[in-house]
Amino acid sequence: MWALYQRVDFGVFTQRLALSLIRSSKKLMKRSSRPRSLLNSPKSNHSLSVTLRGEIRTPSGILLEALPEIPAKSFVQQFVDLLYPKMAQLTGAVKLTDGTPYNVVAAANVFRCNAAAGDTTWGIIVGDDNTPVAIDQYNLVSQVTTNVVHGAHNIAVPVTEGTTRRLDIIRIFTNNTGGALTIEEVGLVVITGTSAYKHLIDRSLYSASVDNGNSISLRYRISVTV
């Protein structure tokens, strides 16, 4: 009886050992099948981000309200379409702010957004409609320009903070409408070639109310972090 019990116990032990070795082998094969770079590379904080922020000030420049900084994550199709001619070095059709297609050539200026004071057609622009953003939009839904003074752009020299490199695009709008200025949408319009060819690349929903005589400073910030 003892010999029979010993043989049965040894058989169960052998079976369990074999199953354990098979499982270990499968785990090892699964792990080794992954790229070596994934096995050995440390976690990365690398990111590209674009944010939008506003500040409301009195005519003398006193800060009244610092508005929240939000992700400007509503890039529309022109953003991608403008990359194609430069990267492929081929001509590509990109919609203008009036909806008509324009053939952007490889050598054209792209992403210029330093519109002068008083120019309401490109650079940072504002509107008063809060319709959700659609990928095929090519302009603001309801741009506001009448009696709203559009200042010159301030595009700061890129700076590095720690592991982040950032670029700021700033424009000040002064409300001379005689009443409160309501802002619900902000856009970034760039030009290709001459200033005649304008393309909306971002439309973000951003709410602000500016009393008559006061101004709002709007800033797009493009950041890269490693």
Q: What is the per-residue DSSP string for 78-92?
A: HHHHHHHHHHH-S-E
Mean pLDDT for the stretch of residues 42-46: 60
200 contacts 113 by C-beta, under 8 angstroms:
no
Asked whether residue 127 carries a pLDDT value surpassing 70, the answer given is yes
For residue 14, the SS3 value is helix
pLDDT tens for 144-179 read 999 999 999 999 888 889 989 899 999 999 999 999
- Taking alpha carbons only, the member of 73, 81, 72, 76 closest to residue 141 is 76
Q: Report how far residue 101's alpha carbon sits from residue 103's, in angstroms, rounded to the nearest whole number.
A: 7
Mean pLDDT for the stretch of residues 182-191: 96
Confidence class for position 4, pLDDT limits 50, 70, 90? very low
User: What does pTM read for this prediction?
Assistant: 0.76
Residue 225, pLDDT score: 87
Query: What is the domain partition of the chain in residue ranges?
Result: 2-40, 47-225
pLDDT tens for 55-102 read 999 999 999 999 999 988 678 989 889 888 887 778 889 999 999 999
Query: What stretches of the chain adopt beta strand conformation (E)?
Result: 47-57, 63-66, 70-71, 92-95, 101-104, 123-127, 148-155, 159-161, 164-175, 181-192, 197-210, 215-225
Asked whether residue 6 carries a pLDDT value surpassing 70, the answer given is no
Within 13 Å, how many C-alpha atoms sit on residue 198's CB side? 22
